[in-house]
Structure 1
Amino acid sequence: MPEERLAAEGAFAPLAVIPVYDHEHAIAAVVDGVRAGGLPCLLVDDGSHASCAGVLDALAGLPGVALLRLGRNQGKGGAMLAGFAEAARRGFSHVLQIDADGQHNTGDVPRFVAAARACPQAVICGIPAYDASVPKARLYGRYATHVWVWINTLSLHLRDSMCGFRVYPLAPVLRLVGEERIGRRMDFDSEILVRLFWRQVPVQHLSTRVTYPLDGVSHFDVWRDNLRISGMHARLFFGMLARAPRLLWHRWARGG
């Protein structure tokens, strides 16, 4: 299996996976920034329209840039799951996830990679440092998810589960997605992090500047995505109840 091959090889080999859906005005700058940080890129075209698809075709001609095209839109989570599988097929050990809309600071890519290299078994999770461009409703709305994540992990350790700038160790991710269903859309970021935490995968945090967004395009559907996220929290809550003794034991063993 892919994770067994990667574990056997033991090499640190990170790949940036960028899910893209109609971000043709921002994606080139994101790719340039990631490449300047020294990482190869896999662009996952999540059913983009022709204008964006053409931009992605051109970018895929650059050194170190590959393109995986999905036949229909599957959502951010679906695109990332496809990216994980492709990264494993290509022999990479880690995946750096970064959004395509330009909100993340690509100048921090070397910091994230260095942290992952120093602790290769951990998820390196971004903690957003927002500027004035962040919509206040989005900023304050994040705290509802923060509280639910703290409840569902019985811990305050996960400081922000919604930031899409992070590095995953690929082997435990492949095991997780092979055994459990993960949300395919905007519920993905929080759910996969909670489920990895449940499996005792370490999570480390790095502060990173976030700007909203470079191209003015957001695919967050206030009603549908909030409904999905609410359903995800409910599923995780019942999963937490079943795992509560073990979670509390590990919390005590960690010293809090």
Structure 2
Amino acid sequence: MSAPAEHSLLVVVPVYDHEHAIGTVVAGIRAAGLPCLLVDDGSHEGCAAVLRRLAGQSGVDLLRLACNQGKGGAMLAGFAEAARRGYSHVLQIDADGQHDTDELERFVALSKARPEAVVCGIPAYDATVPKIRLYGRYGTHVWVWINTLSLHLRDSMCGFRVYPLPPVLQVMAAEPIGRRMDFDTEILVRLYWRDIDVQHLATPVTYPRDGVSHFDVWRDNLRITGMHARLFVGMLRRAPRLLRRRLQGWP
């Protein structure tokens, strides 16, 4: 799968046992005319077999990780593979069917208009969203606002976004990044600290009735708590520069 020379975007989908939803997600990506890399994060054989079949379609490739590394680990592997193939941008979309693939064109268009920026989805929930998920996100929102000294990052947990690859690779080389459910928030904050622009797009999010979630309430909440603590320490070291940047008009 070759990439064009200019703004060249690869869709990376981290997958772990989402065999019932991933076919529809891939169909939407192909309908948008985008190349796709499925990162099989050590799925069991039922899902792995589905992914192998999907990878036989035009424009769909498969990278299999031998053991489960978590969503963040799968995305980090996808970034490295996208860079190896010469892409400039990665579009991340979840494998569980929560995101509307009809929105892909809007994300790509904004990324082409602002190639230096992260394009971050802002969930527009419908009635299917569990209330505990909806209100539970605000704890992370508040900590992100504290750790950036800004209200600019409106939602750091949405798994639908476009990344410019060069700054992501710089972060990967220089700093540890959470490899599980702490990934989405941590990488966005660290990119913001590095003066990477973040553009927002409201996008519908639906929770399928038979959807599969791999969020572990205890372990992942502990990881997220630890991530916020690490970021808080990092913010304290960066506070003078972050405040100076705000005075200069940075959002």
Q: Deviations over 1:192-251 (max 9, x none)?
A: 000000000000000000001364210000110000000000000010000000001111
> 1:56 maps to what in 2?
51
1:238 aligned onto 2:236: no
User: Does structure 2 conserve the Cα–Cα contact (< 8 Å) formed by 1:34 and 1:41?
Assistant: yes
> 1:207 maps to what in 2?
202
> 1:178 maps to what in 2?
173
Mapping 1:120-135, distance limit 5 Å: 120-135=115-130
Which secondary structure state, in structure 1, belongs to the residue aligned with residue 248 of structure 2? Answer: helix
> 1:192 maps to what in 2?
187
User: Does structure 2 conserve the Cα–Cα contact (< 8 Å) formed by 1:38 and 1:110?
Assistant: no
Among candidates 142, 146, 149, match of residue 147 of structure 1: 142
Among candidates 88, 91, 109, match of residue 114 of structure 1: 109
User: TM-score, normalized by length of structure 2?
Assistant: 0.97
- Gap regions ≥5 residues in structure 1: 1-5
Between 1:35-44 and 1:109-118, the stretch displaced more is: 35-44
Q: Give RMSD over aligned pairs.
A: 1.3
Q: Deviations over 1:136-179 (max 9, x none)?
A: 00100000000000000000000000000000000100011011
Which secondary structure state, in structure 2, belongs to the residue aligned with residue 120 of structure 1? Answer: coil
Q: Deviations over 1:98-148 (max 9, x none)?
A: 000000011000000000000000000000000111110010000000000
Which secondary structure state, in structure 2, belongs to the residue aligned with residue 127 of structure 1? Answer: strand
User: Does structure 2 conserve the Cα–Cα contact (< 8 Å) formed by 1:15 and 1:40?
Assistant: yes
> 1:226 maps to what in 2?
221
Over 3 Å counting, the alpha-carbon distance change for 1:82 and 1:188 in structure 2 is: same
Q: Structure 1 residue 255: deviation in Å?
A: 5.6
User: Does structure 2 conserve the Cα–Cα contact (< 8 Å) formed by 1:102 and 1:214?
Assistant: no
Q: What is the aligned length?
A: 249
1:33 aligned onto 2:33: no
Distance in structure 1 (CA, Å) of the matches to 2:90 and 2:10: 5
User: TM-score, normalized by length of structure 1?
Assistant: 0.95
Distance in structure 2 (CA, Å) of the matches to 1:43 and 1:85: 13
Mapping 1:5-16, distance limit 5 Å: 11-16=6-11
1:65 aligned onto 2:60: yes
> 2:15 maps to what in 1?
20
- Gap regions ≥5 residues in structure 2: none
